[in-house]
């Protein structure tokens, strides 16, 4: 226990922003209300849902005294209003009503393993971390989920190495918004989500604020604690990564070209081998070596080998397409998510901030 801890068993406020989450909210809440070994409250922030989200949350609130539902306020409008994204507006509302010494921001599409909340608190305390963020195990069901997700998460692990993010001496800053456990006093000290109100990539922005204030972050892959299925069809996958990819990677156009070239080399070699355009077995060797190299690059994504091989064969060109689509959408101010559109002026501010955090990162 650290000197900053005020009680032996601090209360955790679990804050779930929920906008049209009827497909996943029930399972998420079921996994949370059954947590043991820690005191907690659950605050579901209904973000102007038009489906059964509020009804599902209400059914849990009726059965469990520690589950509450609040409605997110309307997003500010007008030329003098502060810019807010929908998610930041919702989680900030939840934080304002929270009573806990620790806040857990988690998404409605997460599933929390038994005892994981108590273990996460203990891990944060033992490592004297002001913020603990988990990268959940990703559940992939459809073809495009299995093909694209390993490529994305392999590149994220390359861009934001957890060991460097967790190193107080490294400027690298990152977090996964699906699971952020943060000390309340640290959250308030950096201004909370109000300080990053217009940031689409709010998790990285919050981590950046914590690192800038010299507060300790612990970040790791956590299949032992939480899992998620982010997108349930291709349209959701395309829209979600279009929103995020250009902000996650400083040079999306260059990364798209690089990954597409690495993917194309073995297929070019195979075509040359098939056409008899080379001598001996060199083209075949290049093909095999290229496929193995691309699969090895994806190994850090924490999927099984079959899915990683599928991603190496088919996911890389789709990743390049999504990078370029995201870059164009942000440039044109046509970034849409859950019925809301964010403008190009937001992109310019966020790229400047993102670059300041990432470019200085040690190689």
Q: Which tens digit of pLDDT belongs to each residue from 122-143?
A: 999 999 999 999 999 999 999 9
In angstroms, rounded to a whole number, what is the distance separating the alpha carbons of residues 220 and 224? 11
Other CB atoms within 10 Å distance of the CB of residue 54: 19
Per-residue pLDDT band at 245 (split at 50, 70, 90)? very high
Between the alpha carbon of residue 80 and those of residues 76, 77, 85, 93, the distances in Å are: 9, 8, 16, 21
Q: Quick one: pLDDT at residue 360?
A: 31
Q: Which residues lie closer than 8 Å to 241 by C-beta, 6 or more apart?
A: 148, 152, 322, 326
In angstroms, rounded to a whole number, what is the distance separating the alpha carbons of residues 32 and 41? 10
Contact at 8 Å (CB) between 87 and 202? yes
Per-residue pLDDT band at 280 (split at 50, 70, 90)? low
Per-residue pLDDT band at 4 (split at 50, 70, 90)? very low
Q: Quick one: pLDDT at residue 356?
A: 37
In angstroms, rounded to a whole number, what is the distance separating the alpha carbons of residues 16 and 29? 9
Q: Domain 12-136+176-232 has what CATH class? A: alpha beta
Contact at 8 Å (CB) between 42 and 32? yes
Contact at 8 Å (CB) between 131 and 180? yes
Residue 10 structure tokens: 């601090």
Q: Which tens digit of pLDDT belongs to each residue from 179-227?
A: 999 999 999 999 999 999 999 999 999 999 999 999 999 999 999 999 9
pLDDT at 344 over 60: no
Q: Where are the domains of the chain?
A: 12-136+176-232, 236-358
| Beta strand ranges found along the chain (DSSP E) | 12-18, 40-46, 67-71, 102-106, 110-112, 131-135, 137-138, 179-183, 217-221, 226-228, 335-337, 340-342
């Amino acid at each position: 226990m650290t000197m900053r801890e005020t009680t032996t068993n601090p209360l955790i406020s679990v804050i779930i922003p929920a906008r049209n989450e009827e497909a996943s909210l029930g399972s998420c809440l079921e996994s949370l209300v059954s947590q043991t070994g820690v005191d907690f409250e659950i605050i579901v922030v209904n973000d102007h849902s038009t489906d059964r989200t509020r009804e599902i949350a209400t059914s849990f609130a009726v059965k469990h005294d520690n589950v509450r539902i609040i409605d997110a306020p309307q997003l500010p409008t007008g030329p003098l209003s502060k810019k807010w994204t929908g998610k930041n507006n919702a989680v900030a509302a939840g934080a304002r009503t929270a009573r806990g010494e620790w806040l857990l921001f988690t998404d409605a599409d997460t599933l929390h393993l038994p005892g994981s909340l108590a273990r996460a608190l203990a891990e944060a305390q033992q490592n004297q971390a002001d913020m603990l963020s988990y990268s959940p195990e990703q559940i992939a069901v459809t073809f495009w989920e299995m093909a694209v997700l390993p490529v994305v998460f392999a590149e994220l692990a390359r861009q934001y190495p957890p060991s460097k993010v967790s190193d107080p001496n490294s400027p690298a800053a990152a977090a996964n918004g699906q699971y952020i456990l943060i000390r309340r006093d640290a959250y308030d000290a950096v201004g909370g989500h109000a300080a990053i109100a217009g940031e689409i990539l709010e998790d990285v922005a919050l981590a950046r604020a914590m690192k800038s204030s010299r507060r300790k972050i612990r970040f790791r892959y956590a299949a032992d604690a939480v899992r998620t299925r982010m997108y349930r069809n291709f349209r959701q996958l395309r829209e979600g990564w279009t929103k995020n990819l250009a902000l996650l990677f400083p040079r999306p156009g260059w990364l798209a070209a690089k990954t597409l070239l690495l993917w194309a080399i073995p297929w070019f070699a195979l075509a040359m081998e098939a056409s008899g355009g080379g001598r001996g077995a060199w083209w075949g060797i290049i093909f095999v070596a290229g496929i193995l190299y691309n699969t090895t690059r994806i190994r850090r994504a924490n999927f099984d080998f079959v899915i990683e091989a599928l991603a190496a064969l088919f996911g890389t060109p789709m990743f390049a397409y999504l990078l370029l689509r995201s870059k164009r959408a942000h440039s044109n101010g046509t970034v849409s998510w859950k019925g809301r559109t964010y403008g190009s002026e937001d992109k310019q501010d966020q790229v400047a901030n993102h670059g300041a955090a990432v470019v200085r990162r040690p190689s």
